Structure 1
Amino acid sequence: MTTLLAIGTAKGLFLATSDDGRRSWQVSGVHFPMTGVYSVAMDKRRPTPRLLAGVTSSHFGPSVATSDDLGASWQEPAEPPVAFPDGTGSSLERVWQLTPGAADEPGVVYAGTQPSALFRSVDGGISYELVRPLWDHPHRTQWDAGFGGQAIHTVLPHPADPAQILVAMSTGGVYRTADAGASWRPQNTGIRAYFMPDEWPEFGQCVHKVARDAADAERLYAQNHHGVYRSTDGGLSWQSIADGLPGDFGFPIVAHPRRGGTIYTFPLVADRERFPVDRRCRVFRSTDAGDTWQPLTDGLPTGPFYPAVLRDAMCVDDADPAGVYFGTRSGEVYASRDEGDSWSLVAAHLPDVLCVRAAEV
């Protein structure tokens, strides 16, 4: 079985493959040179997996490209497939997230964008339509831009109920629909926004990433702008799980693909000091849903380490045992073939890594 690792960077897309159980990697590229690749998805609901890439060119603007031959060739439409309708007064800046829908909706793909909006495709990601009720939400005028822009960066369809979809944005927080997008409610109770006059608002939090537990679809994990949280009721309420971490600031949070309660994150010092805590390269893993945390360092750099890991620059694959991957802002990509117990270098000297996605293909 081949493992494919897609690495989106500020200057294009790189593809790494391993045919020996993820012991060694061959890196190819660059696809879409001098183009920011902010999102990648691997849609395995098809007989041949489809790759989707959210690309942003400084000359031609943002678009979504697709490949049905594992990246050997790419199709990019002449007109951007994700576009705001006339009358919205907005234009697309970039596609931050591409997420295949539920297993029983084989054509559905979601796109989270900047400015904060959700688009839905029913043809496998070839064309998209704005989810208008979220765009027309009365809170939207109060959603503000975070340091990286004002965008929906997380889209989590419910695995057992396609009518339930959770999104997260920075800033704005977590919102959820239970009626296939017809209405949306904020789901931020318990998440702190220290930078606001009311530190516990209904909405407005700067949530950096949300992940869903593999065994319990109602259990969610959130990495916030200062704060790491768990919800056991589908996002209705959140509790801190930051105790045991060296810092509560960071960007990614990733859930194991099969084992409930196992999650990964990469802590940084603070919003004003975006370096790894103690200048050490450490992934932290919890196997009890955030009650306790363990640093994972075997095979990672031991000297002073300064790069950050962005919100979508950490992922897991679907192999057994699961692979864990992360890329840094200084262009290194690391992989673990044993669920984080040990690590090896996949690539170095790449451009700023914006996102990674991996799967057996």
Structure 2
Amino acid sequence: MASLLASSASAHDASSYGGVFRSRDLGAAWLNADVGLFLNAALVIAVDPRDSSHLLVGTDLGILTSHNGGRSWAPEARDVIIGAVFALAFSPDGELTVCAAASGVFRRDREGWLRAEIPGSAIPARALVAGPANHRFYLLGWRALFASEDGGRTYAVVPRVPEIGEMTALVTIPGSADILAAVIDGRAMISHDGGRTWRNTGFGGADAPVDTIATDASRPQRIWAAAGGRMAVSDDLGSGWHSVGRSLPEARARVRGIAASADATTLVISSDRGIYRSDDGGESWAPKEDNLPTHIESGPLARDPNDAGVIYAVFSLMPYAEVWRMAREGGNLLARIEPISLVGGVSFCVLVLIGGCLAALHLSRRRAAARSPR
């Protein structure tokens, strides 16, 4: 459960909660950027391209916003956006913001947050990314890819060839009009026409499915991918790949975010086993634990558009796959309670109520006896 404290609070124990963390030196040191919050599940974070101090965080209970780089937070549109927020995106000029929540897709402009028109299969969403034009957004829904050409007001299915299967990750290529990179059926794939047709880049597959794919902040033609605990990079949009360094210490770690320096020497990885960093191009990896939560899941990384050295990470006590599954099935936290536990809890409350009534009756009788003449 997320709660806002009325007064300023000290930094919480990182091992006890999820939350939002920031590094100003590409992952070498981290500090919590959610002072005053105690979050169960921080799912995604976005940085305003116009103002790096303006942050939006999607949680299991809605959106939180900060206008001072995380020193204080406030709920955003809680009367409109209900439930877990899985994806957030600013337009390139920062004028528009879109989000995908368990309750729908929403768009914010100068008039506030409004619900977008979407097909039912768009929710819950896996990803939401801005295209190069300020009015274009791509939404990776539960069963299909959707595109908006009107600033996120409406979304339509992007038709694809039938043999293309499940898409689980999506990014847009900076500076390109219609180039997308995605993970489809565990393979890294590229589209040059806004997702209508796709080319298999030859990386990933059934034996080593790709976890995620990421663009590079400094080189538009460079994309990163992770599969089987190993990183790979392509400098020509997937035409050729080469492995980077050695495997992560946790071979079964599922990678959710990749950030790299311009020379590809420093690498930062977020995963379901936490954050890892390498200073030697992946030849060695060190888990980052100081000030960061341990033994809980880290979600996608977000990079400050105005400072490539500043990155944000989110953590969740509840596994991300479980939060997404609950949204897909229309569940909630109450559905996770076993019936016998629920009955036991109700019985306990009834016993407490009965005990309270008996105690009140006993006290009432004693007072009446004390008042009566002897």
TM-score interval for Structure 1 and Structure 2 normalised by the shorter chain: 0.5 to 0.7
Q: Relative to 1, partners in 2 of residues 1:178 and 1:44: Cα closer, same or farther, differing over 3 Å? A: closer
CA distance, structure 2, for counterparts of residue 93 and residue 352 of structure 1: 13
Aligned counterpart, 1:100: 130
Question: What TM-score do the two structures reach when normalised by structure 2?
Answer: 0.62
**1:24-61 deviations in Å (ceiling 9; x for gaps):** 51111164465121100112325xx321110113xxxx
1:210-359 to structure 2, matched below 5 A, reads 210-224=213-227, 226-241=229-244, 243=246, 245-248=248-251, 249-255=253-259, 259-261=262-264, 262-268=266-272, 276=273, 283-286=275-278, 290=282, 293=285, 295-300=287-292, 305-310=294-299, 312=300, 314-320=301-307, 322-330=309-317
User: Is the partner of 1:114 in helix, strand or coil?
Assistant: coil
Aligned counterpart, 1:124: 151
Q: Read off the aligned partner of 1:100 and give its amino acid letter.
A: A
Q: Relative to 1, partners in 2 of residues 1:284 and 1:309: Cα closer, same or farther, differing over 3 Å? A: same
Q: CA deviation at 1:66?
A: 1.3
Aligned counterpart, 1:167: 182
1:29 aligns with 2:75: yes
Aligned counterpart, 2:211: 208
CA distance, structure 1, for counterparts of residue 118 and residue 236 of structure 2: 32
- Give the number of the structure whose alpha-carbon radius of gyration is greater: 2
Q: Relative to 1, partners in 2 of residues 1:292 and 1:68: Cα closer, same or farther, differing over 3 Å? A: farther
Q: Read off the aligned partner of 1:110 and give its amino acid letter.
A: Y
1:183 aligns with 2:183: no
Structure 2: gaps spanning 5 or more residues: 1-50, 326-374
Q: Read off the aligned partner of 2:97 and give its amino acid letter.
A: L
User: Is the partner of 1:39 in helix, strand or coil?
Assistant: strand
2:97 to 51, 54, 59: 51
**1:66-97 deviations in Å (ceiling 9; x for gaps):** 1125xx931114xxx2317xxxxxx3332221
1:76 to 90, 115, 135: 115
Question: Which structure ranks higher in relative contact order (CA pairs < 8 Å, sequence separation ≥ 6)?
Answer: 2
Give % identity: 22
Aligned counterpart, 1:109: 137
**1:313-336 deviations in Å (ceiling 9; x for gaps):** x212123363221121128xxxxx
Determine which structure has the larger helix proportion and give its number. 2
Aligned counterpart, 2:171: 155
Q: CA deviation at 1:118?
A: 1.8
Structure 1: gaps spanning 5 or more residues: 58-62, 85-90, 144-150, 200-204, 269-275, 332-350, 355-361
CA distance, structure 2, for counterparts of residue 7 and residue 239 of structure 1: 34
CA distance, structure 1, for counterparts of residue 85 and residue 190 of structure 2: 27
**1:83-129 deviations in Å (ceiling 9; x for gaps):** 17xxxxxx333222111111xx22211111111x2212111111122
Question: What TM-score do the two structures reach when normalised by structure 1?
Answer: 0.64
Q: Relative to 1, partners in 2 of residues 1:106 and 1:319: Cα closer, same or farther, differing over 3 Å? A: closer
User: Is the partner of 1:167 in helix, strand or coil?
Assistant: strand
Q: CA RMSD in A?
A: 3.2
CA distance, structure 2, for counterparts of residue 28 and residue 16 of structure 1: 7
Aligned counterpart, 1:3: 53
